[in-house]
Amino acid sequence: MSREHRALKATHLPTPDGFEPITVRVPDACRMLGIRRSKFYELIADGEIKILKLGSATLVPMEQIRALVRRLEKG
Which pLDDT tens digit goes with each residue over 2-60?
A: 555 555 554 555 667 778 899 999 999 999 999 999 999 999 999 999 999 999 999 99
Three-state DSSP state, 54: strand
Q: Which amino acid does the sequence have at 64? A: Q
CATH number of 3-74: 1.10.10
pLDDT of amino acid 17:
78
- Rounded Cα distance between 53 and 71, Å, is 24
Give me the pLDDT at residue 31, please: 98
pLDDT at residue 1, rounded to an integer: 52
> What is the DSSP code (8-state) at residue 14?
-
- Report how far residue 22's alpha carbon sits from residue 39's, in angstroms, rounded to the nearest whole number: 22
Average pLDDT over residues 68-75: 94
- Candidates 56, 7, 6; CA nearest to 29 is 7
Domain ranges of the chain: 3-74
Query: Per residue in 7-18, pLDDT tens?
Result: 555 455 566 777
Compute the distance between CA of residue 6 and CA of residue 34 in angstroms, rounded to an integer: 8
| Res 9: pLDDT | 52
